[in-house]
């Protein structure tokens, strides 16, 4: 970028120093930006590096110095400047970088890069009180929305003040999520009550291929980061405000609610509030019972969706539901609520509309999905439903094209889950649970409404899974992790895994890291690597579709997956159709005669015989289902791949070979056998097994029958915390918790924005009195909260056992839930405030961030990324030290 250099104060000088005439605090954003870059980086690496890399923001910033970068001629880059428009839109590119040369050898990986951006804001005090500081209102908060940027922070311009602060980094809305809310940002130091105050804003701009695309599609060689930053004052008229964009509602069909879940979006300002009752008007109560699923407490500035259960008493044909929510803080408040509904006619063979249904994900999170009714009711038996997974960035609730991409079938329902959000977790973790949850919800809705009984779905019926792009990848994922729930799979334009989409070869961390540590970190990506789990699909019919000229996901991805499948089973029922000349997306990609014929075949034909020999592959047992009735329950060495090889002879004798398995089970009604041998040792159940046989290794390769169910192993990587069975409890200390509360609010915001996962912020003393801790997973933030919990529960210290004294060290470790065998905890601890910031940036919100069960990250990570890790590892299956999967500096 060859632009005129200027000092940061030039940015401030470009802001008109005018007091806003509305008597309130006001803010103005400069249109001038200083830019430093580009630096090579791989996708998600910015979670390990300092977002301001290579700048240390606790020191004065020298805008005249140069920094090493292998992307630039001569190996050095310097600061330059550019401007945004008045709406905050900014495009950042580096035309003097020889991108074509880099791309010729490194491919898409070379286009991914990092840049630091800096601008300024001015905060103006209220005009009417500027002469009388005693009447100045409380220090305002900012509302900041960074679109398609990684992180931002707001800092004072005074270098002496800045040197005493640890920058608080807020994640940007990097995906451009639907209905995303602005972040509430606390100013690092109070503004002057009598004159304008200037602050710096630093932004981490990271170009990712999946977000910004290949510049060749726009006919250019130069990658362009397109960002937007808006900054406002958080001027709210009351202590609790509606956030209607966060509401969750169902449609009504012939006066009947298509679901039982409703959600009301609320946000607070500066106080703690609890929603503890709902009041329905008498004229409405004749139609419904409306109850709170749980009391919902909101921390200061937090947004939550209040869950309501609707039970219908008689048909309702209105378009609005009016009621009051009762809230309590230091005072009480009744808030008027209006929810708007769509009233739909009953579908017929010739007319229909996609129906928006709702259910409670994780027991209390109102969640919407779409359903497309078949043309005709079932005849002899219900037909398999179709689970259709959308691509990245597709908002199924507001964008109609995904629902329009399907023709109605004669007898099969089509379910379009949201995946939590338009990006979700790439159909893994909570997104996968939501896919199955949406299908289960439709089955329940149809089964509980007698007029629709002839259209109901057999709860035991397998599903056909299809999807496009990221949804095609998700179809591979769901089918190969839950093979017994899937009848057939249709992945279209699907990529294999994130590392194959854009390789990690330009990683900065890789230039400094111990390869053994790399292996441990990347073990946390193993559960997402679809190619490793294709063995589970040897008996599943597959129709893979790919445009021959796909500009987004190269067609070789589908070819490779089919090659892997045919390596496992040369006789697999699998077909790859390359559509010559077609791009990544085209309207008929899943809506054509070829797909219709395939669906008809798999729905109507008799189940084929299973392979006599097959292999079940598992990485994390809690994230995998069974295959022909066989299921891995726990691994011998978590972090490594596990396999069961099952061979069944014609006489019913079954032999099993295990690799890295500690316990497993088999459903003997699904997979009957006359005898069983495991690792060349016969197994004789001591009593009759009615349904499930559990086996546990008492010594290596020595197996014993267990007559009690075995809890599935939960550990394996930090990301498993997201699969919570209730709201995630974010625990902060009782006192002196300014930073911990800030971290909790940031995590809560990210969980809601990226995954619509609900979280409750509580103080550590409340852990013993609130049910929310018992229901869902727990995140303990800060040393103070951890110390208090350790006094009450058996919570061990993180490894290694020796004390850590390095300033700027952050500690994260997964821990079994102290009160719930099916739950987990994460403890975020640190040596100081800078270390806690590091730990919080590694909280697993996005896919592709390699964080195993526990990790200690030191100050060197600011400049060398994951090579600055001091220690990391995966727990054993009993939550103890796992020597083969642990690394210490």
pLDDT digits (tens, 9 = 90+) for 8-58: 434 444 444 444 445 689 999 999 999 999 999 999 999 999 999 999 999
Q: What is the pLDDT of residue 706?
A: 86
What are the structure tokens assigned to 660, written together? 């890295």
Per this entry, what is the length of the chain? 889
Q: What is the pLDDT of residue 3?
A: 33
- Pure H helices in 760-802: 772-775, 783-792
Instruction: Indicate the DSSP class of residue 515.
Output: H
**854-857 and 869-873 as β-strands: parallel, antiparallel, unpaired?**
antiparallel
Q: What is the pLDDT of residue 12?
A: 41
Average pLDDT over residues 142-149: 97
Q: Which residues pair with 320 in a beta bridge?
A: 340
Q: For residue 803, name the pLDDT band (cuts at 50, 70, 90).
A: low
Does position 130 have pLDDT exceeding 50, yes or no?
no
**197-207 and 113-124 as β-strands: parallel, antiparallel, unpaired?**
antiparallel
CB atoms within 10 A of CB 396: 23
**113-124 and 26-29 as β-strands: parallel, antiparallel, unpaired?**
antiparallel
Distance CA 287, CA 264 (A): 19
CA distances from 423 to 20, 183, 223, 323, 380 (A): 39, 19, 22, 33, 38
Cα 773 → chain centroid: 21
Q: Name the residue ranges covered by the structural domains of the chain.
A: 8-233, 236-346, 348-594, 613-635+639-706, 718-888
Distance CA 428, CA 722 (A): 10
pLDDT digits (tens, 9 = 90+) for 370-410: 999 999 998 777 799 999 999 999 999 999 999 999 999 99
Q: Which residues pair with 730 in a beta bridge?
A: 761, 779
Q: For residue 515, name the pLDDT band (cuts at 50, 70, 90).
A: very high
Burial per residue of 746-775, b for 16 or more beta-carbon CB atoms within 10 angstroms, e otherwise: bbbbbbbbbbbbbbbbbbbebbeeeebbeb
* pTM (predicted TM-score): 0.95
Q: For residue 687, name the pLDDT band (cuts at 50, 70, 90).
A: low
Class of domain 236-346: mainly beta
Q: What is the pLDDT of residue 21?
A: 46
Class of domain 348-594: alpha beta
Among 868, 530, 857, residue whose Cα is nearest residue 718: 857
Query: Peptide bond preceding 800: is omega within 30 degrees of 0, i.e. cis?
Result: yes
pLDDT digits (tens, 9 = 90+) for 621-633: 999 999 999 999 9
pLDDT digits (tens, 9 = 90+) for 743-801: 999 999 999 999 999 999 999 988 878 888 888 999 999 999 998 888 777 787 777 66
3-state secondary structure of 359: strand
- pLDDT above 90: percentage of residues in the chain: 85
Q: For residue 137, name the pLDDT band (cuts at 50, 70, 90).
A: low
What are the structure tokens assigned to 100, written together? 């074509």
φ and ψ of 765, to 5 deg: -70, -20
Among 753, 727, 775, residue whose Cα is nearest residue 845: 753
φ and ψ of 829, to 5 deg: -130, 175
Class of domain 718-888: alpha beta
Q: Which residues pair with 358 in a beta bridge?
A: 259, 368
CA dihedral 83, 86, 92, 93 (to 10 degrees): -70
848: left (phi over 0), alpha (psi -120 to 50) or beta: left
What number of H helices and E strands is found in the chain?
17, 49
Q: What is the pLDDT of residue 689?
A: 75
């Amino acid at each position: 970028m060859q632009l005129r250099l200027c000092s940061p104060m030039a940015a401030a000088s470009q802001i008109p120093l005018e007091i806003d005439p509305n008597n309130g605090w006001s803010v103005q954003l400069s249109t001038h930006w200083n830019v430093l870059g580009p630096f090579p980086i791989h996708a998600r690496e910015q979670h390990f590096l300092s977002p301001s890399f290579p700048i240390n923001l606790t020191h004065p910033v020298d805008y005249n110095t140069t920094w090493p970068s292998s992307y630039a001629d001569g190996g050095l880059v310097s600061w330059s400047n550019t401007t945004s428009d008045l709406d905050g839109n900014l495009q950042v590119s580096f035309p003097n970088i020889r991108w074509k040369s880099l791309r010729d050898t490194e491919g898409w990986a070379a286009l991914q890069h990092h840049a630091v951006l800096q601008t300024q804001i001015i905060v103006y005090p209220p005009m009417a009180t500027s002469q009388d500081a005693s009447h100045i209102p409380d220090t305002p908060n900012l509302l900041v929305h960074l679109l398609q940027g990684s992180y931002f922070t707001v800092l004072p311009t005074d270098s002496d003040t800045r040197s005493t602060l640890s920058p608080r980094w807020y994640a940007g809305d990097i995906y451009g999520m639907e209905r995303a809310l602005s972040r509430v940002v606390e100013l690092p130091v109070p503004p002057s009550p009598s004159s304008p105050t200037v602050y710096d804003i630093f932004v981490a701009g990271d170009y990712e291929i999946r977000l910004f695309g290949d510049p060749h599609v726009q006919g250019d060689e130069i990658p362009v980061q397109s960002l937007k930053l808006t900054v406002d004052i958080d001027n709210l008229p009351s202590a609790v405000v509606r956030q209607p964009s966060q509401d969750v509602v169902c449609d009504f069909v012939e006066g009947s609610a298509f679901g039982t879940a409703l959600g009301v979006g609320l946000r607070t300002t500066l106080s703690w509030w609890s929603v503890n009752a709902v009041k329905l008007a008498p004229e409405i109560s004749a139609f419904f019972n409306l109850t709170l699923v749980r009391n919902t407490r909101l921390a200061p500035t937090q947004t939550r969706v209040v869950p309501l259960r609707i039970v219908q008493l008689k048909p309702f044909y209105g378009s609005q539901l009016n009621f009051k929510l009762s809230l309590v803080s230091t005072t009480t408040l009744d808030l008027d609520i209006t929810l708007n509904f769509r009233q739909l006619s009953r579908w017929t063979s010739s007319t229909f509309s996609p129906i928006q249904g709702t259910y409670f994900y994780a027991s209390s999170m109102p969640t919407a999905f779409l359903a497309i009714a078949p043309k005709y009711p079932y005849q002899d038996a219900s037909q398999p439903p179709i689970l259709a997974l959308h691509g990245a960035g597709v908002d199924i609730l507001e964008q109609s094209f995904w629902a329009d991409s399907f023709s109605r079938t004669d007898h099969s329902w089509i379910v379009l889950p949201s995946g939590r959000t338009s990006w979700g977790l790439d159909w893994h973790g909570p997104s996968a649970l939501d896919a199955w949850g949406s299908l289960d919800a439709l089955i329940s809705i149809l089964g509980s409404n007698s007029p629709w009984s002839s259209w109901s779905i057999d709860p035991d019926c397998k599903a056909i899974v299809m999807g496009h792009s990221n949804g095609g990848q998700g179809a591979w994922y769901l089918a190969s992790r839950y093979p017994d729930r899937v009848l057939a799979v249709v992945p279209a334009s699907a990529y294999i895994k994130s590392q194959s989409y854009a390789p990690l070869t330009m990683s900065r961390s890789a230039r400094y890291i111990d390869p053994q540590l790399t292996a441990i970190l990347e073990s946390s990506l193993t559960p997402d690597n679809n190619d490793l789990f294709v063995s589970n699909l040897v008996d599943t019919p597959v129709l893979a579709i790919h445009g021959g000229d796909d500009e987004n996901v190269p067609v070789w991805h589908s070819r490779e997956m089919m090659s892997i499948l045919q390596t496992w089973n040369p006789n697999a029922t699998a077909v790859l159709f390359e559509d010559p000349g077609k791009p990544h997306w085209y309207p008929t990609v899943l809506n054509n005669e070829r797909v219709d014929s395939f669906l008809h075949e798999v729905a109507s034909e008799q189940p084929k015989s299973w392979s006599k020999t097959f292999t079940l592959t598992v990485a994390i047992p809690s994230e995998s289902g069974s295959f022909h009735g066989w299921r891995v329950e726990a691994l011998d060495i978590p972090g490594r791949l596990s396999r069961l090889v099952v061979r069944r002879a014609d006489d019913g004798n079954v032999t099993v070979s295990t690799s890295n398995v500690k316990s497993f089970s088999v459903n003997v009604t699904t997979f009957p056998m006359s005898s069983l041998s495991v690792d060349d040792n016969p197994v004789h159940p001591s009593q009759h097994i009615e349904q499930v046989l559990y086996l546990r290794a008492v010594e290596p390769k020595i197996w014993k029958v267990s007559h009690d169910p075995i809890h599935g192993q939960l550990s394996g990587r930090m990301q498993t915390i997201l699969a919570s069975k209730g709201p995630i409890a974010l625990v902060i200390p009782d006192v002196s918790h300014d930073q911990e509360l800030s971290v909790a609010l940031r995590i809560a915001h990210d969980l809601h924005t990226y995954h619509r996962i609900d979280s409750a912020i509580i103080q550590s003393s409340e852990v013993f009195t609130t049910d929310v801790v018992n229901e869902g997973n727990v995140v303990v933030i800060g040393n103070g909260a951890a110390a208090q919990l350790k006094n009450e529960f058996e919570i061990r210290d993180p490894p290694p056992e020796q004390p850590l004294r390095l300033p700027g060290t952050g500690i994260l470790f997964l821990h079994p839930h102290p009160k719930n065998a099916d739950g987990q905890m994460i403890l975020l601890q640190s040596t100081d405030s800078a270390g806690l910031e590091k730990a919080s940036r590694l909280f697993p919100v996005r896919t592709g961030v390699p964080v195993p069960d526990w990790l200690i990250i030191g100050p060197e990570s600011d400049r060398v990324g994951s090579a600055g890790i001091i220690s990391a590892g995966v727990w054993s299956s009993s939550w103890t030290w796992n020597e083969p999967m642990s690394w210490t500096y």
